Amino acid sequence: MSQYLIAVVIGTLVGFVARILLIRTDFRQYPTYPTGRIINLSFGFIAAFIGSVSIPAVLESDWTAVTFLGLAATQFREVRKMEREALEKVDRKELVQRGEGFIEGMAQAFEGRNYMVMFVALITTLIGVYYIWLAILIGIILTLIIKVIIKGKILSNIAEIDEGNIRFCGPNLYVNDIHIKNVGLKSSKKTIMERAVGVIITPKNQNSVLTLSNLSQRQAILHHGANILGSYLDSGEPDLVPLSKRDMADGRLAVYFLPMEKDFAQIKEVLKHVPVLDSAIRLPSEANKGKSEK
């Protein structure tokens, strides 16, 4: 096995570097640093090492060692479960929560990236057994390809974002022509008229209509906006809680919230980058294609 040592080391290092490049700590503050990063990178290193040593094990017909791949997959699923539970506990204390769909997407990303790292390390080691420099080059190319592939859609890909007019008709709060909720307190009405911002999100196609109707996607929009722009909100203020409502006739989504600054250009830029959740994606147009083919 000693002849494979260099290939294993290179595969592990390339895989670990891939995990470093895939990690993100951004405005969502996840993974938190430094503790969250340490956990993510530690699992990334383990995944890279397992992927690397599996190649020498196969070449030496050591099938017992290969079973560690299956064991690792099981363990990463458990980590995903733990990650989900931890995020759900933290989310309960958020003024504007992420929602279950957003949390599940983050847990899936955590698990999936470890598998990607394992794959990069495995391919790099396989090539490295025969060609060291080619293995490094292929490992870098694979990492860059994966980094591009895992970038999902954002809200601007599926919808147009425009400013909406906040208005009251008696106790009823509207954004343009879409009813949001009833507000009874005069003090709340005054605060809303002074600080609230309305947004109209118009889907670009039939698929987008169903995606925006998903409650998890709508909650992700509210959380994303409140988390980056700040929110003029405290506990025990139900009138000021951000909310979204849908026009069932044409699928437009009205969003109401109170950012710290009423700068719509900034708000629009932030909302354009809301991630589209995998669990919210719907493709009715594909079903229509099937009907037309018949």
200 touches 163 (CB < 8 A): yes
Mean pLDDT, rounded, for 108-121: 87
To the nearest whole percent, how much of the chain has pLDDT over 70? 90
Q: What is the pLDDT of residue 38?
A: 82
* Residues contacting 190, CB < 8 A, separation 6+: none
pLDDT confidence bin for 27, thresholds 50/70/90: very low
- Statement: residue 142 has pLDDT above 80: yes
Q: Where are the beta strands (DSSP E) in the chain?
A: 159-164, 166-169, 172-175, 178-182, 197-203, 243-246, 253-257
pLDDT at residue 163, rounded to an integer: 92
DSSP assignments along 78-91, one per residue: HHHHHHHHHHHHHH
The pLDDT of residue 289: 56
Give SS3 for 94: coil
DSSP per residue over 114-164, as a string?
HHHHHHHHHHHHHHHTT-HHHHHHHHHHHHHHHHHHT---BHHHHEEEEEE
Terminal-residue alpha carbon distance, the chain = 58
In this model, does residue 293 exceed pLDDT 60? Answer: no
294 has pLDDT over 90: no
Share of the chain above pLDDT 90, in %: 27
- Mean pLDDT across 141-149: 86
pLDDT at 279: 82
Q: Are 15 and 44 in contact (CB under 8 A)?
A: yes
pLDDT in tens, 240-285: 889 999 998 888 999 999 998 888 889 999 999 898 888 888 777 6
283-292 exposure pattern, b = at least 16 Cβ within 10 A, e = fewer: eeeeeeeeee
Greater pLDDT, 125 or 288: 125
Kindly report whether the peptide bond that precedes residue 203 is cis, defined as omega within 30 degrees of 0. no
Residues 211-233: pLDDT tens digits? 999 999 999 999 988 888 888 88
